[in-house]
Amino acid sequence: MTANEDLITWNIRWRLAGGIVSCKTCHSQQPETQRGKVFEHLPGCGYAGQHCTPWDDLDVICQSFKHDK
Ligand SMILES: [Zn+2]
């Protein structure tokens, strides 16, 4: 996938506002200060139990944008 497609996919799953990432499915939140921890979804979320690190994922996407240029 291209960096742009990766970013679109990220935006489908996550919402970023005010330094806080939230899951669009369960609305659980993780501030950037806790970015080193695994994102904890609420029970019943389709992503619960998955190893999610949205901040790291976003970093990787941003890095590939720089790489494209
Ligand atoms: Zn969730």
pLDDT tens digits for range 37-47: 999 999 999 99
pLDDT tens column, 8-38: 999 999 999 999 999 999 999 999 999 999 9
User: In which domain, by residue range, is 28 found?
Assistant: 3-68
Q: What is the pLDDT of residue 1?
A: 76
Looking at residue 34, the DSSP 8-state letter turns out to be G
- 42 C-alpha vs ligand 1 centroid, how far in Å? 6
Looking at residue 37, the DSSP 8-state letter turns out to be: S
Q: What is the pLDDT of residue 68?
A: 66
**Ligand 1 centroid – CA 68 distance (Å):** 30
Q: What is the pTM of this model?
A: 0.88
The count of structural domains within the chain is 1
What is the Å distance from ligand 1's center to 11 Cα?
A: 13
Separation of CA 66 and ligand 1 centre (Å): 29
pLDDT digits (tens, 9 = 90+) for 53-68: 999 999 999 999 887 6
Distance (Å, whole) CA 43 – CA 55: 21
